[in-house]
Amino acid sequence: MKIALAQINPVIGDFAHNSRRILHWTEEAKKQRCDLVIFSELALCGYPPQDFLERERFLRDHDRALAELVAGISGIGVLCGVLERHSGPTGKFLHNSAVLFEDGGRLFTARKRLLPTYDVFDETRYFEPGSASAAFLYKGTRLGITICEDIWNLPAMFPRQAYAVDPLSELMSPPNSKPEILINLSASPYHLGKDAIKNELYSRICRRFNLPLVCVNQVGGQDSLLFDGRSLAMDRSGGEIIRAAAFQEDMVIFAAETGKGQPHDDTVTHEAIDETGELLAALVMGVRDYVGKCGFTKGVLGLSGGIDSSLTAAIACQALGPANVLGVALPSPYTAPESIEDARQLAHNLGCRFEIMPITSLFESFQDTLAPLFKELPVDVTEQNIQARIRGNLLMAMSNKFGALLLSTGNKSEMAVGYCTLYGDMSGGLAVIADLPKQLVYKLARRLNSGKETIPARVLTRPPSAELAPDQFDQDDLPPYDMLDAILAAYLEENLGVDEIVARGYNRPIVEDVVHRVRRNEYKRKQAPIGLKVTTKSFGHGWRYPTAQNYREGKIQE
């Protein structure tokens, strides 16, 4: 049996587009004389469709689109992730399923059994789990079909099982006949380091059950989620046979009899990339897809001459093309001349359009307007925020006038502790590097510069400053970034408490201050733009904390 692994980049709810991508790769698989072509989890509607699943009209359109595909394809088997009605007397109305169809007939349906409901996942909100797993005999080969989370419950891999059932064990156990090939359809969001975890899991599964494994994963950016593709076939000893491209549509072919794999086309190259290269590619895809799927072609952003906006601009130019990017320097009275020079040089290096629009006179006008009300009250953070919000207003005006999506430039460290201005620098449709801790921002910038200097070298060496007050430097308000990022990772990604973080050797008042700032700035993040998720825990849909709260660790009495 010759199996095509086709990873498409679906648009949520765009049944016409998604059907076209499915038809395109099905034709390609037929040309290459494949017996079966496999698409990813919920490939027809795109993952995650969220509350569209509660709309009957959406489901009807999905079912019609599926019926058209089933009726319209012949000469090859298609296994595709689809929505399926659950008709039982109780429970949710849908299954997350994979349907195998051929020459107008539906041969088999597998239902997802393990429904992730944590972090960014809400699957029990919509789906009823499947109740059984059995291999299906197709063209003489027993296929063991699973969907994403179904294979993420392997006892050898996880110290504690999140689910009481294990579809893999069930597939292998009598009275079921053991499959000859394991198949997994997934829409598994990327994060830094996940590829290694997946490879480990997949190869353990192959070895544990002595079976080859075929995984087809969604590709593309969907709001904050980045799907990396990299669909693959592994042999029964867990060795990689063939792997599709990362961060782009692709198809590869696995010949079960020979155990050999091949690309669909010799022009697609699959270079191994290191972690920073992978991260850059993920962010570039995320920007391209978010901007494009929202109907834009152009981007605009503020260039402060700092590292965050420089990196964001470089990513935007790769994603949209430099001709579609406008970078604007918006100097205030506290902006150093070097900042403007560096912003200009960056734009020159990137080849994007550059404008300078000083905000000093607007800042003065705001102060004049407010003077009768503020009287002799001392200058404080208010005046800093006013500057940031003038910039936000100007950038949004350009966004509105030119039809360019505003990209915001804040990093994860400052989003965490609220070192940013709501409606100011936080303005934008997409926060490109909002899940990158500051240290990682530097790392990516250095990587970008590794061939030739794109970001002016001085940007990487000057001490970071918001430049909203005289002689202001981040390190006057915040702990050193290496310390801050380590504390934040412990708090955000490991869920540790203050005591545990202090036990790692950090100063207690600093840790308490950082944790306090994270909690107290929930309100800013509630109104932040969508940020591209690249770590195990990003702010956004998978980070759900109350804004009104008064939790103080260890405080149970007044």
Scan residues 196-255 and list those touching a copy of itself (CB under 8 A): 221-223
Stretch that binds a copy of itself, among 274-282, 372-380, 443-451, 453-461 (CB under 8 A): 372-380
12 binds a copy of itself (CB under 8 A): yes
184 and 110 Cβ atoms separated by less than 8 Å: no
CB-nearer residue toward a copy of itself: 378 or 505: 378
Q: Which is nearer to a copy of itself, 318 or 385 (CB)?
A: 385
Per DSSP, what are the bridge partners of residue 225? 222
d(CA 298, CA 401): 12
Query: Exactly one of 362, 433, 440, 468 binds a copy of itself (CB under 8 A); which one?
Result: 362
User: Which helix (H) or strand (E) element contains residue 235?
Assistant: none
Please state the three-class secondary structure of 118-148 as a single string.
CCCCCHHHCECCCCCCCCEEECCEEEEEEEH
Question: Per-residue x/- marks for a copy of itself, 281-320, CB under 8 A?
Answer: --------xx--xx--------------------------
* 375 included as an active-site residue: no
Nearer to a copy of itself, 225 or 433 (CB): 225
The CB-side HSE value for 101 (13 A sphere, CA atoms) comes to 21
How many C-beta atoms surround the C-beta of residue 237 within 10 A? 10
Rounded to the nearest whole angstrom, what is the least distance from the CB of residue 550 to a copy of itself in the complex?
4
- In the window 495-514, what residues touch a copy of itself (CB under 8 A)? 495-500
Residues 530, 533, 535, 541: is their CA dihedral positive or negative? positive
Map the footprint of a copy of itself across residues 446-485, applying CB under 8 A: none
Which residue in 41, 128, 249, 467 is the catalytic one?
41
Q: Which residues contact 36 (CB under 8 A, 6 or more apart)?
A: 1, 2, 3, 4, 76, 77, 78, 79, 100, 138, 139
Distance CA 387, CA 235 (A): 59
Give me the least distance between CB of 523 and a copy of itself, in Å please.
Answer: 6
Question: CB of 34: closest distance to a copy of itself in angstroms?
Answer: 25
- Near a copy of itself in 137-156, by CB under 8 A: none
Closest separation in Å from C-beta 237 to a copy of itself: 29
Q: Name which position in 230, 264, 288, 389 contacts a copy of itself (CB under 8 A).
A: 389
Q: How far is the CB of 101 from a copy of itself (least distance, A)?
A: 16
List the one residue out of 208, 29, 54, 47 whose CA is nearest residue 112: 47
Question: 273 to each of 1, 105, 195, 200, 435, how far by Cα in Å?
Answer: 31, 42, 12, 18, 20
CB closer to a copy of itself out of 104 and 480: 104
DSSP letter at 98 equals E
Binding segment toward a copy of itself, per CB under 8 A, in 116-124, 337-345, 440-448, 460-468? 116-124
Minimal distance, residue 442 CB to a copy of itself, in Å: 28
Binders of a copy of itself among residues 392 to 431 (CB under 8 A) are: 392-394, 396-398, 400-401, 422-423, 427, 429
Handedness of CA 485, 488, 493, 494 (dihedral sign): positive
Given the residues 80, 84, 112, 149, the one annotated as active site = 112
Contact segment (CB under 8 A) with a copy of itself among 98-106, 241-249, 260-268, 364-372 equals 364-372
Rounded to the nearest whole angstrom, what is the least distance from the CB of residue 227 to a copy of itself in the complex? 13
Interatomic CA distance for residues 46 and 391, integer angstroms: 36
Q: How far is the CB of 373 from a copy of itself (least distance, A)?
A: 6
Tell me if 527 contacts a copy of itself by CB under 8 A: yes
Between residues 51 and 240, which has the closer beta carbon with respect to a copy of itself? Answer: 51
Of 252, 266, 189, give the one whose Cα is nearest residue 224: 189
Least separation in angstroms between residue 480's CB and a copy of itself is: 25
Contact 340, 356 (CB under 8 A): yes
Candidate segments 173-181, 206-214, 378-386, 452-460, binder of a copy of itself by CB under 8 A: 378-386
Per-residue contact flags (x/-) with a copy of itself for residues 55 to 94, judged by CB under 8 A: xxxx--x--xx--x--------------------xxx---
The distance in angstroms from the start CA to the end CA of the chain is 70
CA angle 314, 394, 353 (to 5 degrees): 35
Our CB check for a copy of itself shows the closer of 136 and 366 to be 366
DSSP state of 492: I
| Active-site residue flag, 41 | yes
Cα angle at 415 between 410 and 419, to 5 degrees? 90
At 379, is the secondary structure helix, strand, or coil? coil
Comparison of 55 and 446: residue with beta carbon closer to a copy of itself: 55
**Dist. CA 6–CA 4, nearest whole Å:** 6
**131 lines the binding site for a copy of itself (CB under 8 A):** no
Whether 56 sits among the annotated catalytic residues: the reply is no
Looking up tokens 């952003």, which residue turns up? Answer: 301
Q: Specify the length of the chain in residues.
A: 558
Binding part of the chain for a copy of itself, among 41-49, 261-269, 432-440, 466-474 by CB under 8 A, reads: 41-49
Q: For 180, what's the count of Cα atoms within 13 Å in the CB-facing half-sphere?
A: 12
* DSSP, res 229: B
Task: Compare residues 9 and 454 and give the one whose CB is closer to a copy of itself.
Answer: 9
At 380, list the tokens.
């404080």
Say if residues 343 and 458 touch (Cβ distance below 8 Å).
no
Task: Pick the binder of a copy of itself from 71, 197, 381, 457 (CB under 8 A).
Answer: 381
Query: Which residue from 33, 106, 125, 348 is in contact with a copy of itself, where contact means CB under 8 A?
Result: 125
Q: Which amino acids are annotated catalytic? A: 41, 112, 148
